[in-house]
Copies of this chain bind each other. A is one copy, B any other.
Amino acid sequence: MAERFEIVEKALLSLLDDKKYTTLRDILVTMNPSDIAGLFDALEEQRIPVLYRLLPKELAAETFVEMEPDAQELLIKGFSDNELKEVLDELYVDDAADLVEEMPANVVKRILKHADPEMRKAINQILRYEDNSAGSIMTTEYVSLRPHMTVGEAILRIRRQGVDKETIYTCYVTDTSRKLLGMVTVKDLLLADDDDTPIQDIMITNVIFASTSTDQEEVARMLSKYNFLAMPVLDSESRMVGIVTFDDAMDVMEEEATEDIEMMAGMTPSEKPYLKNTPFELFRNRFPWLSMMMVSATFTGLIMTAFEDALAQVIALSAFIPMLMGTGGNSGSQSSVTVIRGLSLGELKFRDIGEVLWKELRTAVLCGLGLAVVCFAKIWLIDRMLFGNTEITLMVDLVVCCALCVTVIIAKAVGAVLPMVAKVLGADPAVMASPFITTIVDAVSLLVYFLFAKLILGL
């Protein structure tokens, strides 16, 4: 599928090269706006307006929404006032608000100037809400019905009003002060036995809603949990102000998962797709974390320096340090990543901390003991017998395995608890993942190691 599309893409671009505009246009009108937008990504700047002007008005606007911000900016700058107005008229309010958020100030001014007053009001309203809130991703266009309308009247109203609404399939029943009374789907309307039934008899009154300040991740989770096409958004006075639709929820889910993954790996999340980032932007997202983690390794360095004499006495000990720290770090990451994902999906809450810790401790004991046994055998069979390293005595082997077992248990406990604590303190749990926990676990594992060396080898 994807490969077939690449071939089509090449063919279309060569039509553009050959200036076969009519043929190109005939093909473009059969395509999906998302795929057409994909074409623009592969295009040099000066050819973007050429291709864009081939599209019929409505398709052009639909394609415009799906394009990358740089291409959008380029087009807007080249638009006549009339062209800009045409595109804006075709946009849904939430897409227009997204556009306004992405563009530089002078472009924003032009957009707001050419939007009709109603759209301008709606855009401004959406922009008032905090980033990542339900208010910021909602659309203010939805179908609203009144409780006393009949099914037949409701269907008529949808047929008259529906063209401009992003989703018509879920309709909201409100009173004159925009208080939300209930919800009815087009399916309910179409399948109703009698066209004269009043809406209030078939509507669902116990509607699940979000408020404008609800986190967008929470809204996406609720939509996914309840399999809703859309979710109503109420303001602080319980008046209905908009809806969040399933397609926006899908985008949010994808974005938030990507953000979590990037933070877990010690990076500032990027707003753009990978290939759109310059090396300098990647550097800016990654460097501060790397240097912070590097400097924090000073602790482990200090601990090693403090035990320099012990290491000098039994030089074989230092060969196991990377293994010990690595295994500790991996064990901790396993726990932290699992807990962070559980928190993100809403499967875990802070009140579960006791259950999580207890489960992780038992898992940790199993893993710790299992690893200690494997490690003991491995050191003896491979390092001592196979490679003949006679510095490794039974006692040295014992020190390594005891330290390993204890390190794994501590690492898993730290990995499980820190993200939950972060969450309750209002920080993003994902920040607490591998890198931070690794720094703690590295220091702890060394201390434990030298402690056992002291106890067992008497250094």
Contact = CB atoms under 8 A, between A and B. Distances in A.
A319 B334 contact: no
A457 interface: no
Interface stretch (A79-87, A105-113, A114-122, A246-254): A246-254
Contacts of A266: 330, 333-334
Nearest to A337: B265
Contacts of A225: 34
Interface in A337-393: 337-339, 341-342, 345-349, 352, 355-356, 359-360, 362-363, 366-367, 370-371, 374-375, 378, 382-383, 387, 389
Interface string A69-94: 00000000000000000000000000
Contacts of A129: none
Contact of A229 (B229, B279, B404): B229
A445 to B, nearest CB: 10
A305 B317 CA distance: 10
Interface string A258-284: 101110111100000111010110110
Contacts of A158: 190
Contacts of A176: none
Looking at chain A, what size class is its interface with the partner chain?
Answer: 35 or more
Contacts of A427: none
A315 B32 CA distance: 65
A295 interface: yes
A206 B362 contact: no
Which of A158, A168, A257, A341 has the most chain B CB within a 10 Å cutoff? A257
Contacts of A389: 305
A251 B374 CA distance: 38
Of residues A162, A246, A295, which shows the largest number of chain B Cβ atoms within 10 Å of its Cβ? Answer: A246
Contacts of A249: 250
**How many copies of this protein are present in the complex?**
2
A31 B207 CA distance: 9
A282 B334 CA distance: 10
A187 B214 contact: no
A435 B163 CA distance: 52
A2 B360 CA distance: 25
Interface stretch (A17-25, A236-244, A321-329): A321-329
B275 A247 contact: no
Given A337-B262, A374-B295, A322 B302 contact: no
A442 B210 CA distance: 48
Task: Report which residue of A163, A225, A320, A442 has the largest number of chain B beta carbons within 10 angstroms of its beta carbon.
Answer: A225
Interface in A211-238: 214, 218, 222-227, 229
A295 to B, nearest CB: 6
A265 B437 CA distance: 13
A144 interface: no
Given A2-B346, A168-B187, 9 more contacts: A250-B250, A262-B337, A265-B338, A274-B342, A275-B348, A279-B362, A282-B359, A282-B360, A308-B315
